[in-house]
Amino acid sequence: MNTKNIGFSIKEKMTLLSNMQTMLSAGIPILETVDSLHEDAKGNVKKFLVVLKNDLIQGQKVASTLAKFPKVFDKVTVNIIKASEEAGNLDTALSDIKDNIKKQSEFNDKIKSALIYPMFIMVVFTIVFTLILVVVIPKISGVFKSLQVTLPLPTKIMIAMSDALVTKPIPIALSVFIIISIIVFAYKKSKKVFIEVLTSFPLISQLAIQADLTRFTRSLYLLLSAGLPITNALELTQEVVVKEKVRRVIIHTKNLVFGGKRLSEGLKDHKEVIPAIMIKIIEAGERTGTLDKSMQDISDYLDYEVSNSLKTLTAFIEPLLLVVIGGLIGGMMMAIISPIYGVIGQVGR
């Protein structure tokens, strides 16, 4: 069975982990737990439980099975489970991972909800613009041609676009499909480059950094709580961030920690990326020996900050988008109305 391409939905993943954690906490052995869950499972979850059961029978660990499903369980999750199995607290680790998935899902939902309105406006504008080109412009352009009116450049461009759309719909639709396919293919091949470009704009860049720091601190908290050394934990958290700037900060900090320095010392070298309050909380955690708890507090704080930043960004984008769309529609109307006034003037003379 090719397990590398098997994936779960967030809901399936949370349900699976929640059920496993509940049954293990009740004292049910892991093999019996898997058997019980397998009876009611469907689809890819059932395939996963089959592989897990076979691996357990052969004496393998749960973490080794999770590693076979990279689309479902990332390296952070696999290493947390591996450490918890060695420590004998698998049920606690499952609970922490489930809570982390829930928070990450809520975090992603906030970002998606912030994007819904702008996307809706753009879709409506595209539909209105297409209808004007297909329905309105052909009728008006015929009148202009019969009256031999001198047309302004915007009107000529709109008429040319309308003629192309009406006379050659199939080639244009095919061209649009090919362009979209190329963009999707390029995105899949160079996802990091696309994301880096999209998150390079001023307001979005700061929001992306906050989101990365939230993922970084939450993952670091889980890894440290599971008992992993900080050097290993930093190595793994490099994979959870999106911005290259944040990744370089983690790599720099990891190298300093390898050299015997503290986490806060490495982060201090990048105060342009790391908030001062984050460094202060980490320093306090290092002094008291509660670095994992400090990471949890920071992730909760940053999650709150990201929510506020999203509200601010949405409040800024919505009126800006309305002004831009209004300007574009107004420009189209002027391109149509301006020649009509020219015709009226000629008739008057």
Give pLDDT, residue 135: 84
- Asked if the structure places residue 1 within a domain, the reply is no
Same domain (yes/no): 69, 208: no
Please give the C-alpha separations between residue 87 and each of 81, 83, 237, in angstroms, as whole numbers.
Answer: 10, 6, 21
Q: With bands split at pLDDT 50, 70 and 90, how would you rate the model's confidence at 346?
A: low
Say if residue 201 is in the same domain as residue 273. Answer: yes
Helix (H), strand (E) at residue 98: helix 90-131
Position 82 in a domain: no
Co-location of 101 and 63 in the same domain? no
Q: Are residues 204 and 65 in the same domain?
A: no
For residue 179, count other CB atoms closer than 10 A to its CB.
Answer: 10
- Residue 241 sits in the same domain as residue 165: yes
Residue 148 has pLDDT above 60, yes or no: yes
Residue closest to 291 by CA, chosen among 212, 207, 230: 230
119 exposure class (CB count in 10 Å sphere: 0-12, 13-18, 19+) = exposed
For residue 165, the enclosing domain spans 95-349
Please tell me which residue, 200 or 94, carries the higher pLDDT value. 94
Q: Give residue-wise pLDDT tens across range 75-103.
A: 888 888 888 888 788 888 888 888 888 88
Task: Count structural domains, the chain.
Answer: 2
Residue 330 corresponds to which amino acid? G
- Same domain, residue pair 143 and 38: no
CATH number, domain with residue 198: 1.20.81.30
Check whether 348 has a pLDDT greater than 70. no
Report if residue 90 sits inside a domain.
no
Q: For 127-146, what is each residue's pLDDT tens digit?
A: 888 888 888 888 887 777 77
Structure tokens at 170: 């199939």
Are 295 and 185 within one domain?
A: yes
Q: Cα-Cα-Cα-Cα dihedral of 25, 31, 36, 39, to 10°?
A: 150
What pLDDT does residue 349 have? 55
Q: Helix or strand or coil: residue 191?
A: helix
**Whether residue 260 sits in one domain with residue 154:** yes
Q: Which residue type is seen at 151?
A: L
pTM of the full predicted structure? 0.75
Is it the case that residue 126 has pLDDT exceeding 80? yes
Q: Are 87 and 227 in contact (CB under 8 A)?
A: yes
Mean pLDDT in residue range 230-257: 88
pLDDT class of 280 with cuts at 50, 70, 90: very high
Q: How big, in percent rounded to 5, are the helix, strand and coil portions of the chain? A: 80, 0, 20
